[in-house]
Structure 1
Amino acid sequence: MEHFNAASAEDLERTLLACLRSPRWARRVADHRPYPDLDSLLAAADEAAYDLTWADLTEALAAEPLPTLPPDTYSAAHTALNAAHAAYEARFGHVFVICLDGLSPSEVLDHLLEAIRSRLTNDPEEERVVAAEELRRLARERLVHALRGAGNCATSRGGAAPGR
């Protein structure tokens, strides 16, 4: 937490935006430093995510990559997932997001396909709530990863974030 609390505004913004591409969220989290511990930081990050408007969420969704499959996944699965993503984006107007925290690589494909199929039955307002929750979960997971990964959140740069 020392490194996070002492990071320059520029480094911290870069780190936070890698967790969730919402400038409003990143500013809110950064503006409440210092944090006494990880739990306090995560609570503040959650609160900032809950307070995002749909415009803020749309901005964050526009920057989200599609969830990826493990490298050894067969090509028919990629085709099925691409079709499911296309149907989702056509219905809701934004990329499908889901937090895959805690899943083993062997569970990812089934979980992704099941989640997309299930969520395609949501009405748009219901799906906004689900997508917002998934973004919050992704931000939380990425923030923990940034803090624990390099041991210094202020210097973590780019690269694929977990849970995509």
Structure 2
Amino acid sequence: MAIPSLPEQTRDTPGSPAPLEHFNTAPAEEIRHTLLTCLHSLRWATRVAAHRPYPNLDSLLAASDEAAYDLTPGDLAEALAAETLPVLPDDAYRAAHMALGAAHAAYETKFGHVFAICLDGVPPSEAADQLLAAIRSRLTNDPEEERVVTAEELRRLARGRLVTSLRGAGNCATSPNAPAPGK
């Protein structure tokens, strides 16, 4: 197996490359496109793609994190422009949709960009509560504090989406503005 930490369902099948092997050998433009579905920052995608090949998934994720930590305010604005609000489950109460809509509007008014959050590990049944609690909490931040928190959430989103594109599983909210990772 090319990547020891990958789950059973991503093991090599005869005649097909392992996900990381494909990531390492695919044309740069294809990989940049894939990376832009994870985080819409050209600087981040170019940097991660330029450092191929990666010996293992952990090395790729470390490079992804490092590139995300180095994003400038302009890079963050570029990434946030492509983000959209996390989608609530269809069976969420109407009141939850209304409360989140109001909270999102207040957040965008205060900070001038969409609310970004990674919901990895949050069960779908708890997503609405987690989302509402997080947005209310973050509304108390000043703009600089929120820029730092938002950058961290974007880094987590990029990491989760990158893993999703290689493994085919995950629970990070995705942007409907871009094709779902791995599609």
TM-superposed deviation, 1:146: 0.1
Aligned partner of 1:81 in structure 2 is 100
Greater helix proportion? 1
Aligned partner of 1:112 in structure 2 is 131
When normalised by structure 1's length, the TM-score is 0.91
Aligned length, in residue pairs:
154
Matches within 5 A, 1:66-145: 66-145=85-164
Distance 2:180 2:44 in 1: 20
Is residue 63 of structure 2 the alignment partner of residue 44 of structure 1?
yes
Gaps of 5+ in 1: 151-157
When normalised by structure 2's length, the TM-score is 0.82
Aligned partner of 1:155 in structure 2 is none
Task: Point out 4+ residue stretches in structure 1 off by more than 2 angstroms.
Answer: 158-161
Aligned partner of 1:15 in structure 2 is 34
State which structure, 1 or 2, has the greater radius of gyration over its C-alpha atoms: 2
Aligned AA for 1:41? L
Aligned partner of 1:153 in structure 2 is none
The Cα offsets for residues 101-124 of structure 1, whole Å up to 9 and x where unpaired, read as 001111101100000000000000
Contact map agreement 2:38 2:158 (CA 8 A) in 1: yes
RMSD: 1.2
Percent of aligned pairs sharing the same letter:
74
